[in-house]
Chains A and B, each alone.
Chain A
Amino acid sequence: MKEIELFPKTGNFAENKDVARELRINEIIPALKNHQVVILDFNKVDSATQSFLHALISDIIRKEGYEIIDRLNFKNCNDTIKKLITIVTDYMQEEEPTV
C-alpha cells in the first residue's frame, strides 16, 4: 500500500495540473504497477479543480481500465472534492474505449 499526501505538493487549493501529472507519473503509476493499493490523502486540501483531478487520475483509468479504480483510494476528501472525483471517474467510465 502506498499513501500519497497531496497537501505538501498542492497546497490547500489543488489546481496545478503539472503537479498532478508529476504525481501520477512518478508516484501513482509506479505503485500501481507494483500491484500496490494507492491512497491519495487530501488532508488539508480544501478545494481542487476538475482539471487537476482529471490530470491526476483520468489517464490511469483510460490505460489500465475501470477496475483500477478499486486500487485507488481517496482519503480525507471534503464533499466538494468527493463530488469532483466522482465526476471524473464517472465520465472516464462512460468514455469510449481507445483502440
Chain B
Amino acid sequence: MKIHLPNSAFLGNIDPFLDSIDIDDNSSLEITFNEKWVSVHPIVLCMISALWLSTKNKSNLKIQTLETKSKNYFERIGLFKILGYDSGINIVEHDPSGRFIPITIIKNSDELNNFIKDMIPLLHQEPEQVNPIKYVISELVRNVFEHSKSNSGAIISAQYYKKSNTIRIGVVDNGIGIKEAISKSYNIESDIDAIKMALTPGITGTTTNIGGTEFNAGAGLFFIKSIAKVNRDFFVMYSGDAMYKLLRTPVKKKKIILYSDPFNDRCSKKEKLPYWQGTAVGIDICLDKHQIFDQLLDLIKKTYRKNIKEKKKKRFKKPRFI
C-alpha cells in the first residue's frame, strides 16, 4: 500500500488525497510526504493508522525521511508511535491541552468512557461546546463497536484549530464497511447506496423494522450529519469505493433544513475510489457559530417524525379501483 500526504488534505479538499491512495497490496506500507509542509485533517492520520494495522508484514514499513516541520507534529500527535517508527525526533512534549487529541485506538466501552473523560479537559471549552463533541465521538465509536466487526477497534483523533476556532474529528475503522453491515437487512447494490441508507434516520443494519431494535434506532449518523449541517460544517463518510461529503451550507442561506435523504443536502458523492475496507468518518465542528444543541434537537425531531410518516405511508396498501 502506498500513501502520499499532500500539502493540504482537509474535508473540503480531501478528494485528490483519497483518489491517490494505493490500497491494493497490503503486504507493505509506504508513506511519502509533501516536502515543504503537510497539514492534514485527523481523518487522514487515522486512515494511515488503519492501513498500518491492516498491513500484513509489519517489517515492510517505508517512511520517507522527513525534512518538513510537520515531522514534529506527526511525532506529537502519535502517528509515529502507532506505526512503531523511530523518527529520531527528540521533542519536548508540551501539554496537548486545547490543541489536539492524539491518535488513539479504542476497543471497548470502558476505553471509550475513559477516553471521553480524559478528552474533555484537553479541549478547554465550555460545556455547551463540548456536548456536541462528546456526542459525536460517542456515537461514532459505538457504531464501530456495534456494526463494523473490526478487530482493531476504532481509531480516533481530533485537532483544535485556533484560527478557525474549529474542532476537526476523525474516526476510522478497518471493519466490514457500511455496505456489508446494512446488507444484513437490506438489499444494497452499491457502497454509495449503503452510505445513503446509513445516513437516513430510522434505518439500521440490524433490522428492517422502522424504529430499529432494542439497541439500535438507526438515528446516530443522522444526528451527527445534522450537527454538521446545522453548524454549516463539513461531514465526510468514506466506505468501500464511495465517499459522501456534506458541503458547508452557505451563510447567506439563513434557514437550515434537515433532510432525511442525505442526497437532498448540499453534498458531493464519489464512487470508484480506492476500495476502503471499513469506514472512515470526518467531521468539523466550528465553535464560533455553534448552534444551541437544543435547537438542533427540535429540528431533528421534526425531520425524524416526517421521515417515519413518509416511510409508513409508502408501505400502506393502496385500494385497487378497477
Contact = CB atoms under 8 A, between A and B. Distances in A.
Interface of A: 11, 13, 15-18, 21, 46-47, 49-51, 54-55, 58-59, 62, 79-80, 83-84, 86-88, 90-92, 94-96, 98
B113 A11 contact: yes
14 contacts: A11-B113, A13-B138, A15-B112, A15-B138, A16-B112, A47-B131, A51-B139, A54-B216, A80-B293, A86-B301, A90-B301, A90-B305, A91-B305, A96-B312
Contact of A94 (B134, B213, B312): B312
Interface string B195-222: 0000000100000011111111101100
Contacts of A17: 142, 215
B211 A96 contact: yes
B238 interface: no
Interface in B246-266: none
Given A51-B142, A55-B215, A83-B297, 6 more contacts: A15-B142, A49-B139, A54-B215, A91-B211, A94-B308, A96-B210
A84 B297 contact: yes
Contact of B308 (A46, A84, A91, A98): A91
A11 to B, nearest CB: 7
A62 B211 contact: yes
B260 to A, nearest CB: 12
Interface residues of B, number: 37
A50 B134 contact: no
Q: 3 closest A-B pairs (Cβ-Cβ)?
A: A95-B211, A59-B214, A15-B138
Contacts of B142: 15, 17, 51
B94 interface: no
B220 A50 contact: yes
Contact of B113 (A16, A88, A91): A16
A21 B109 CA distance: 13
A90 to B, nearest CB: 6
Contacts of B297: 80, 83-84, 87
A62 to B, nearest CB: 7
Interface string B112-150: 110011000000000100010011001100100000000
Contact of B304 (A62, A87, A96): A87
A91 B304 contact: yes
Nearest to A13: B134
A29 B109 CA distance: 23
B308 A62 contact: no
A89 B161 CA distance: 38
Contacts of A11: 113, 117
Nearest to A61: B211
A69 B298 CA distance: 21
A66 B98 CA distance: 45
A59 B215 CA distance: 8
Contacts of A90: 301, 304-305
B300 interface: yes
Contact of B135 (A49, A58, A59, A88): A49
Contact of A51 (B209, B217, B294): B217
Contact of A83 (B112, B117, B211, B298): B298
B212 A80 contact: no
A27 B43 CA distance: 40
A58 B212 contact: yes
A88 to B, nearest CB: 7
Interface in B290-313: 293-294, 297-298, 300-301, 304-305, 308-309, 312
A68 to B, nearest CB: 14
A95 B308 contact: yes
A13 B119 CA distance: 13
B223 interface: yes
A96 B53 CA distance: 42
Nearest to A87: B301
